Chains A and B, each alone.
Chain A
Amino acid sequence: MSKITIDPITRLEGHGKIEIFLTPDGGVENVYFQVPELRGFEKFCEGRPVEELPSIVTKICGVCPGCHHMASGKAVDAVFGLTPPPTALKLRELFYMAHFVHSHIAHFYALAAPDFVVGPTANPAERNILGVIAKVGLEIGGEVIKQRRIAQEIQALIGGHQTHVVMNTPGGVKKGINEEQRDDIVKKAEGFIEFSKFSIQLFKDVVLGNTEYVDLILKGPYALKLHSMGLVDDQNKVNFYDGKVRVVDTEGKELFKYSPNEYTDFVEERVEPWSYLKFPYLKKIGWKGFVEGQDSGVYQATPLSRLNAADGMATPVAQKEYDAMFAILGGKPVHATLAMHWARLVELIYSAERCLELAQDPDITGTELRAPIGKIVGEGVGIVEAQRGTLTHHYWTDEKGMVKKVNLIVGTTNNHAAICMSLKKAAQGLIKKDTEITEGTLNMIEMAFRAYDPCFSCATHSLPGQMRMELILKDLEGNIIRKIKRR
Chain B
Amino acid sequence: MSDSSIPNPKIKLAVYWGSACGGCCVSVLDTHEKLLDIVNAADLVFWPIAMDIKYKDVEAMADQSIDLTLFNGAVRNSENKHMAEVLRKKSKVLVAYGACAYMGGIPGLANFHSREEIFKRVYEESESTLNPDKVRPVEEFEVKEGVLKIPEFFNDVYTLNQVVDVDYFIPGCPPQSERLVEVFTAVITGIGLPPKGSVVGALEKTNCDECLRKKTDNKVIKRFYRPWEIEDDKETCFLEQGVICMGPATRGGCGVRCVTGHSPCRGCYGPPPNSTDPGAKMMSSIGTMIDADSPEEIDEIIETIVDPAGLFYRFSLPGSILGRKVL
Which residues of A are interface residues toward B (Cβ below 8 A)? Answer: 1, 3, 6-8, 10-15, 17, 19, 21, 29-30, 32, 34, 36-40, 42-49, 51-52, 55-56, 58-63, 65, 110, 124-125, 127-130, 149, 159-167, 169-171, 174-175, 263-264, 267-276, 278, 280, 287, 370, 373, 394, 400-402, 405, 407, 409, 443, 456, 458-463, 465-467, 469-470, 473
User: Does chain A have a CB within 8 A of B299?
Assistant: no
Closest chain B residue, CB of each to CB of A61: B21
Q: Could you list 16 A-B pairs, sorted by A, with CB under 8 Å?
A: A34-B150, A36-B150, A40-B122, A43-B118, A56-B106, A62-B26, A63-B21, A110-B50, A128-B51, A164-B174, A165-B261, A269-B126, A275-B137, A407-B126, A461-B29, A469-B36
Residues of A within 8 A of B50 (CB): 10-11, 110, 128-129, 459-460, 463
Contact between chains at B260 and A461 (CB < 8 Å)? no
Contact between chains at B228 and A51 (CB < 8 Å)? yes
Given A36-B151, A43-B121, is A62 in contact with B25 using a C-beta cutoff of 8 Å? yes
Contact between chains at B137 and A272 (CB < 8 Å)? yes
Residues of A within 8 A of B33 (CB): 465, 469
Residues of A within 8 A of B310 (CB): 47-48, 52
Contact between chains at B53 and A459 (CB < 8 Å)? no
Tell me the minimal C-beta distance from A15 to chain B in angstroms: 7
Given A271-B123, A409-B128, is A174 in contact with B307 using a C-beta cutoff of 8 Å? no
Contact between chains at A11 and B128 (CB < 8 Å)? no
Given A10-B53, A407-B128, is A274 in contact with B121 using a C-beta cutoff of 8 Å? no
Interface of chain B residues 103 through 119 with chain A (CB within 8 A): 105-107, 109-110, 112-113, 117-118
Contact between chains at B27 and A166 (CB < 8 Å)? no
For A44, give its contact among B1, B19, B113 (CB under 8 Å): B113
Contact between chains at B129 and A268 (CB < 8 Å)? yes
Which residues of B are interface residues toward A (Cβ below 8 A)? Answer: 1, 3, 5, 17, 19-27, 29-33, 35-36, 38-40, 48-56, 76-77, 79, 105-107, 109-110, 112-113, 117-118, 121-123, 125-131, 135-138, 141, 143-146, 148, 150-151, 153, 173-174, 226-229, 232, 257-258, 260-263, 266, 306-307, 310-311, 314
Q: Which of B20, B110, B143, B261 is packed against the most chain A CB atoms within 10 Å?
A: B261
Residues of B within 8 A of A274 (CB): 137-138, 141, 143, 148, 150
Contact between chains at B121 and A65 (CB < 8 Å)? no
Given A274-B148, A276-B150, is A458 in contact with B26 using a C-beta cutoff of 8 Å? yes
Contact between chains at B227 and A169 (CB < 8 Å)? yes
Give CA–CA (A210, B52) in the complex, Å: 24
Given A49-B307, A174-B261, A461-B26, is A8 in contact with B48 using a C-beta cutoff of 8 Å? yes
Give CA–CA (A10, B26) in the complex, Å: 15
For A276, give its contact among B53, B125, B137 (CB under 8 Å): B137
For B174, give its contact among A62, A267, A402 (CB under 8 Å): A62
Residues of B within 8 A of A467 (CB): 39
Contact between chains at A161 and B109 (CB < 8 Å)? no
Give CA–CA (A12, B109) in the complex, Å: 25
Contact between chains at A443 and B257 (CB < 8 Å)? no
Given A37-B76, A169-B228, is A63 in contact with B128 using a C-beta cutoff of 8 Å? no
Contact between chains at A10 and B52 (CB < 8 Å)? yes
User: Which 8 residue pairs across A and B have the least CB separation, nearest first?
Assistant: A160-B261, A62-B23, A21-B145, A40-B118, A62-B21, A166-B263, A469-B36, A462-B29
Residues of B within 8 A of A127 (CB): 52
For B19, give its contact among A37, A56, A128 (CB under 8 Å): A37
Contact between chains at B261 and A167 (CB < 8 Å)? yes
Contact between chains at A37 and B135 (CB < 8 Å)? no
Closest chain A residue, CB of each to CB of B55: A7
Contact between chains at A459 and B22 (CB < 8 Å)? yes
Tell me the minimal C-beta distance from A235 to chain B in angstroms: 28
Closest chain B residue, CB of each to CB of A281: B130
Tell me the minimal C-beta distance from A111 to chain B in angstroms: 9
Contact between chains at B49 and A42 (CB < 8 Å)? no
Give CA–CA (A467, B50) in the complex, Å: 12
Closest chain A residue, CB of each to CB of B121: A43
For B138, give its contact among A60, A124, A270, A273 (CB under 8 Å): A273
Residues of A within 8 A of B121 (CB): 40, 42-43
Q: Which of A62, A130, A275, A280 is packed against the most chain B CB atoms within 10 Å?
A: A62
Contact between chains at A51 and B113 (CB < 8 Å)? no
Tell me the minimal C-beta distance from B308 to chain A in angstroms: 11
Contact between chains at B54 and A59 (CB < 8 Å)? no
Residues of A within 8 A of B226 (CB): 49, 51, 401
Residues of B within 8 A of A459 (CB): 22, 25-26, 29, 49-50
Closest chain A residue, CB of each to CB of B2: A473
Q: Which of A44, A125, A458, A470 is packed against the most chain B CB atoms within 10 Å?
A: A44
Residues of B within 8 A of A473 (CB): 3, 5, 40
Contact between chains at B148 and A19 (CB < 8 Å)? yes
Residues of A within 8 A of B20 (CB): 62
Contact between chains at A160 and B21 (CB < 8 Å)? no
Give CA–CA (A233, B133) in the complex, Å: 39
